[in-house]
Structure 1
Amino acid sequence: MTMVSSVQWVFFIFANTVVIPISIANVFELSSETMAMMIRASLILTGITCILQGWKGHRFPIMEGHSGLLWGIILNLGLSAQALNIGLERIGGGIVTGIVLASLVTILLIACGGFSLLQAIFSPMVMTVYLFLLTFQLMFIFFEGMLKMTSTGVIDIGISLYSVVLALIVATLKMKGNQLISNFSILIGLLGGWLGYVLLFGNDGAGMTTSAPFQLFPLGAPNLEMGIVVVTFVAVLLNLSNTFASINAAEKLLQRRAAKKEFKGSMLITSISTIIGSGFGLVPYTPFTSTIGFLQSTRIYERKPFFIGGALLTIIGIVPILGSFLSMLPVTVGNAVLFVAYMQLFGTAFSSLNGKTFNSNTIFRLAAPVLIGISIMNISPAIFSELPVLIQPFLANGLIMGVIISIILEKGVNWLKYEDQPIKRGKAS
């Protein structure tokens, strides 16, 4: 069973990883050979980082992968090249500089006792807001990814219906199957869904691609394009919220308290991996809070399958043909299965409230950042086009804005004043 669990980890991590370097390479107009090199670098480094985190970092079976928050920021900056009147290589180089500087500052904070400051900023309520917003953001992404669009921009009914049915089957296996089937419902869904897709529709996934030799700075050499550097720097520091949210959620699920040194070790490994990855054009790393949904779906909490899965992923990156084969997994199948797996994350967000109740005043503490964040997620970024281009990536990102609003509310309002006070009863006359 350990090996089967390890393979399930491989598919889970792979499905969450491979699309990110592909999209970055496309936006920065890189060759298919360079894209393949970035995918290989991503798989190798992701596998190694997962092992290091489980062994010497936070010591939980939590996937370490490319940050969705930074992924969105980097894509947005690349797509804004024309509006900024800056070449893609200058933008890419500025991104690398911002990533490295922020990672070095994080390492410095850890070394100089700044952990308490970070803990104070990312308070439990801020982390609850983050979990709710992350859940909604992932659901939007995976639901949209389940639906196949034709070249004319309309829905492909056959493939989309297949994805919906696959999601229902995986959910049924998770809820109604015996423990063994329930634990491996994700792997069954990915492999069975892939096979069914090929039989019904053929394989329209990516074919075998030749990889270029490993090369440094495919996005552009580091530079001091200050606007780009500042935007990326701030985003990387905000990304630290992922570490606190992931470890806090894992603590509750696995019923083990993480020591301060494990928080520090996790941030140190993330920062070092991020610096190395930036040299190969990779999006910064972070512990995936969404892994909690995967763990709740599989109910396999041991670290051994996680370690083996990380090692297998590294091997897949080293051997190009293996990565090329797995990249043929249909995107709609992966999204359908992950949609079900990440539904569990809503429960994690809800339980993070720890039974806390709100009154008509204190509800703003949660409702304002969550609902504003969701609202921003559901409007077109184009409405911010008249604002300065370099602040658009922040204002158009519902997750970032929700977290920022929550931090401001937690630090700027004394919520104890608005809590319901016990009724004082006078003596009977």
Structure 2
Amino acid sequence: MNRLSSWGTAAASLQWLFFIFANTVVVPISVGAAFGLPQEEIASILRSALIFTGIACVLQGWIGHRYPLMEGPSGVIWGLILNLSVAASAMGMSLTSIGGGIATGMILAGVVVLLLGLFNLLTFIQRIFTPMVMSVYLFLLTFQLILIFFEGMLKVGNEDTLNIPVSLFSFGVVILVSLLKIKGKPTVSNFAILIGMVAGWVLYLMLFPSEQGTAIQSNGGLLLFPFGSPNLNIGIILITFLASMINLSNTIASVRAASQLLGKAPTDRQFLRSYMLTGSYSVTAGVFGLVSYAPFASSVGFLESTRIFNRKPFLIGGGLMSLLGIIPALGGVLATLPITVGNAVLFVAYLQLFGTSLKSLGGYQFNSVTIHRLAGPVLVGVGIMFVDPSLFNQLPVLLQPLVSNGFIVGVLVAILLEKLINWEKYEESSQELQAMKRSS
């Protein structure tokens, strides 16, 4: 484990703060806008997200899985919520009815996870999410995040036209951070993310003064069920519950990947503590209008990029994150960080996640048959990601958000293939055939 000086710890803590903030800030803003909430309420939800994300990170790093892995709003649930809000009119439901069903689904999933942990039944989750399913998960997560951040690097105007100068600037930030990472000395390479964020922010202020955002501040209290009170909208509850249970695979993928990187094998107790915290976070998220939380597998890409594995900067960064929410003026100022700059830096950080995905296949050898267990779910999932969701409008409205989500479909296909097919038989047949060829 690499040791850091006081200045190095301070810089690494600030780097973690920027990383956690950049991965969090856009989620409550986009969800609040999708549900048509006024600016003041969106600001209050953002404040809740800042406070809670920091606390969630600290608790997981301190008493949960005890790895430096960001705990934040799940991209799976985030995408599902946005899809449901868009499909509200087609389903003949109000946004408050859908929001209340989502809250109920999150709370129900959290309670189920807590009960499974209480009765020591969480091991069945690991039997479902096998190493191959986790490899599919990592590949799909990589493609999903890269698509999100690549699109976020592009500045689109009010008339759906590309702002070329700002977009080119984003690619310049990508090149800068990549060069710092590849060519820089360790003292520079390890802080390429932080340098890219700060330098990109300052240059953006100088080059595009007319494009500056406004600080989002809230002086009010935290809101309860801002998207709608819990209800018994069975269809919405079931879809949210299913997505929330799949979201648990974040914990397995993240902890296993981090353990390989840090050389510390996780214990069953670590998994249990992490699950219990994630379950309680799901309940809290449903109450305060947040997106369900989970350990970010993408944090492994961040760790591989910075090569700083110490927990202390992570814990400090999480504490500073909560401080931004407690002191609204601080969070409001940091919220003016240009979205295109944040996405450009995260794009580089998450390139490392592709390497993590490849490493997860280290124990597998594929032939013309067994390649289907990986290629099938990954390519089906990626294919759906590129399909216009409106093409699924002829399906039952409650299935549309699920079927149009390439990530969820890909993981479900991987689970089915692993449970229905004995792949070891085809691996043995391939080995026997190769042996016969060598002997002849």
TM-score by length of 1: 0.98
2:92 aligned partner, one-letter code: N
Q: Which residue in the other structure is 1:181 paired with?
A: 188
Task: Specify the alignment match of 2:431 in structure 1.
Answer: 421
Q: Secondary structure at the match of 1:82?
A: coil
Which residue is 2:18 aligned to?
11
C-alpha deviation, 1:208, in angstroms: 4.2
Distance 1:118 1:62 in 2: 20
**Counterpart check, 1:36 vs 2:43:** yes
Cα shift at 1:231: 0.9
Pick aligned residue for 2:406 from 398, 408, 424: 398
Aligned residues: 428
Rounded to whole Å, the distance in 2 between the matches of 1:207 and 1:42 is: 16
For 1:94-173, list aligned pairs within 5 A.
Answer: 94-173=101-180
Q: Residue 425 of structure 1: CA displacement?
A: 6.0
- Secondary structure of the 1:118 match is helix
Do the aligned residues in 1 keep the contact of 2:385 with 2:405 (CA within 8 Å)? yes
Letter of the 2:85 partner, please give it: G
| Structure 1 segment 331-342 matched on structure 2, within 5 A | 331-342=339-350
Q: CA deviation at 1:279?
A: 1.2
| Alignment of 1:279 onto 2:320 | no
Matches within 5 A, 1:261-300: 261-300=269-308
Q: CA deviation at 1:232?
A: 0.7
Distance in 1, Cα, partners of 2:287 & 2:275? 19
Q: In the alignment, which residue of structure 2 is the partner of 1:239?
A: 247
Alignment of 1:201-240 (within 5 A): 201-202=208-209, 203-240=211-248
The answer (yes or no) to whether the contact 2:250–2:297 under 8 Å persists in 1 is yes
Aligned partner of residue 90 in structure 2, secondary structure: helix
Tell me, what secondary structure is at the counterpart of 1:390?
Answer: coil
| Equivalent residue for 2:321, pick from 313, 321, 337 | 313
Aligned with 1:113: secondary structure?
A: coil
Deviation at 1:155, TM superposition (A): 1.1
Question: Once the two structures are superposed, what CA deviation does each residue of 1:220-257 show, in whole Å capped at 9, x if it has no partner?
Answer: 11111111111111111111111100011001110100
Letter of the structure 2 residue corresponding to residue 336 of structure 1: A
Give the AA of the match of 1:84. Answer: M
TM-score (norm 2): 0.95
On the 8 A contact 2:106/2:285 being kept in 1, the answer is: no
Change in 2 beyond 3 A, CA 1:392/1:425 = closer
Amino acid at match of 2:183: K
2:262 maps to 1:254: yes
Q: Which runs of 5+ in 1 are unaligned?
A: none
Instruction: State the Cα distance separating 1:355 from its structure 2 match.
Output: 4.4
Percent of aligned positions that are identical:
52
1:113 to partner: Cα distance: 2.5
Matched to 1:27, the amino acid is A
- State the alpha-carbon separation in 1 of the partners of residues 70 and 109 from structure 2: 22
The Cα of 1:277 is off from its aligned counterpart by 2.1
The question of 1:69 aligning with 2:76 is answered yes
- State the distance in 2 between where 1:60 and 1:185 align: 21
Q: Quick one: which amino acid aligns to residue 422 of structure 1?
A: E
In the alignment, does 2:383 pair up with 1:375?
A: yes
For residues 403 and 127 of structure 1, what CA distance do their matches in structure 2 show? Answer: 8
Q: Deviations over 1:23-74 (max 9, x none)?
A: 1110111111111111111111110110110111100000000000000111
2:76 and 2:42 map into 1 onto residues whose CA distance is: 21
User: Is the CA contact 2:15–2:193 (under 8 Å) kept in the aligned structure 1?
Assistant: yes
**Is 201-210 or 402-411 further displaced after alignment?**
201-210
Verify the 8 A CA contact 1:270 1:285 in the aligned structure 2: yes
Q: Is the counterpart of residue 200 in structure 1 residue 211 in structure 2?
A: no
Conserved 8 A contact 2:43-2:216:
no
Question: Which residue identity does 2:431 align to in structure 1?
Answer: Q
CA distance in 2, matches of 1:84, 1:371: 29
Contact 1:205 1:331 in 2 (8 A): no
CA contact (8 A) 2:370 2:423 kept: yes
**Does the aligned pair in 2 maintain the 1:32–1:209 contact within 8 Å?**
no
Moved more, 180-189 or 415-424: 415-424
Whole-Å separation in 1 of the counterparts to 2:59 and 2:271: 13
| CA distance in structure 1 between the aligned counterparts of 2:184 and 2:436, rounded to whole angstroms | 55
Deviation at residue 417 of structure 1 after TM alignment: 1.4
> Are the aligned partners of 2:217 and 2:331 in contact in 1 as well (CA < 8 Å)?
no
